[in-house]
Amino acid sequence: MRFYYRNCLIANALALVVNASPVKRDNGLTVLKTTTTPDGFHSAATGWNSFGLQANNAVNPNWKYDQDHVIQQCDVLADTLHMDGGYCSLDSGWSTNNGDDYARLLYDTTIFDLPTLASHLHSKSLNLGVYVLPGAFCTDGNKTIYGTNIKLNSTFSGNNDGFLRCDFDFQKPGVQEWHNSVVNLFAQWGVDLIKLDFVTPGSPDNGGNLPANNSGSVIAYHNAIKQASRPMRLDISWKLERNNTFYDIWKANADTMRTDQDINNSGNTTFVAWEKVQRAIDNYRQYIVLQIPKNLPLSIYPDMDNMYVGNKQNLTGVTDAQRQTIATHWIGAAANRITGSDLTQLDSYGTELLTSPQALSAANFTAQYPMQPRNPGSGSTSAQQLQAWVAGPDSTGVALAVLANYGPDQGQGGFNTSLSGKQTVSISMQDLGLKVGTYQVQDIWQNISMGSKNSSLSTVLDEGESVFYRLSPA
């Protein structure tokens, strides 16, 4: 709890900057800004999520989804990565397939004791996250909702989603009361984050029978969090509809929204493939480009899925340069920096990517000013293999820039070009949308000065490689 309020105090000091409207500059750049989220947060979540090891158990066959093994992972967040305020987030499988006497969700006592887990995490300055699906267990239909005389089955819409749950008719009495009772129980356990998956419109059925629109579940969970006894973050998934009708619901009720599908190599011996990273980056591009013409502050952070950067190539599945590119783009987008890596097998480079002071400073910047694409040669926003991005500038003229060579499009990158090997990536300050002048350039990952630049940035990058610069007016 103390970390939540500490973060709020820090963020309030930035309120004059954060809450200002985006600025339309003469050179065509609309400076995007992010304001407070619906549940009072000022940055995306950081931490670890269990799904990578659950879905890619071959990466570590000795790992099991239970309390001891989760604690083993999350203690690394505190003791090695010193990630104060980070979330230790349980994905699907922590709960039983039926509720308690009031149809509230129950943790599976054969593998978890959530109050004890929460207490352990809180003692280490960490937070607990849990995964839920819309709806309630169909088998609980004859139970009475806590604090009411309403039978649960009277609130159902008649749709069974195929995942043991019946969907709600959000117009019926008792629906909000059920959500309140579940979230209040979570608060008693010590939960700090709720990941609500399979939200529609957007989520693929994935073998289920999802309704066309269960956005009411997002509203209901948000309202339940508002009345709960402890603050919680609400993250919603996956690849959600971005049109104004539903985006307005997401941004008014959730703190983070998934912009893509799952990124991991489910069932494989490595966590991620570069093709899916290309896809995740392009889905963020598509999302952020829609926000530019609105000229409004953003009140929700993107979720590009777990950030797999902690382990060496034979476990992660991508090169060190590509690991850095992943970290750069997740930071630049101000996306959730929740890793799915095996933290018991961190290498030194993975530790650096997760703890670099310069990168963390950049993350604080992009939490206010998320990056947007600026094509070399035009300043446009389309998908390109040789791409540039800009975050800011802030009121002092400081901006962050990313130059990238994504390598040949592997099928989902959106740019459909196949330039092989090293390429020169250059962009003018004008195409970045920055004022003409001299800038001191700092390489964020290398923590070295690149000297002063007054007209353009240029570098030679191999496939999957990128650079991350801080630009300060001289």
Total Cβ atoms within 10 A of residue 245: 10
Catalytic residue among 39, 91, 167, 197: 197
CA 221 vs. chain centroid, Å, equals 18
Q: Report residue 217: phi and psi, to 5°.
A: -65, -35
Catalytic residue among 39, 140, 192, 262: 262
Determine the longest span between alpha carbons in the chain, in angstroms.
71
Q: Which H or E run contains 402?
A: strand 399-405
State whether residue 298 is helix, strand or coil. Answer: strand
Q: Is 66 a catalytic residue?
A: no
Tokens standing for 465? 């490689």
Q: For residues 195 and 116, give the distance between their C-alpha atoms in angstroms, rounded to a whole number.
A: 20
The half-sphere exposure of 274 on its side-chain side, counting CA atoms within 13 A, is 18
Rounded distance, CA 295 to CA 24, Å? 8
- How many CA atoms within 13 Å lie on the side-chain side of 435? 17
DSSP notation for 54-82: HHTGGGSTT--SSHHHHHHHHHHHHHTS-
Q: What is the DSSP letter of 435?
A: P
Strand partners, 391: 400
Is 282 tagged catalytic?
no
Q: Which residues pair with 129 in a beta bridge?
A: 89, 193
Burial 166-185 (b: 16+ CB within 10 A, else e): bbbebeeebbbbbbbbbbbb
Report in angstroms the alpha-carbon separations of 334 from 362, 367, 380: 9, 5, 21
Helix (H) / strand (E) containing 350: helix 348-355
Rounded CA separation 209/198 (Å): 10
Three-class SS string for 181-205? Answer: HHHHHHHHHCEEEEEECCCCCCCCC
> Nearest CA to 222 among 36, 34, 38, 35?
38
| Catalytic residue positions, numbered | 197, 262
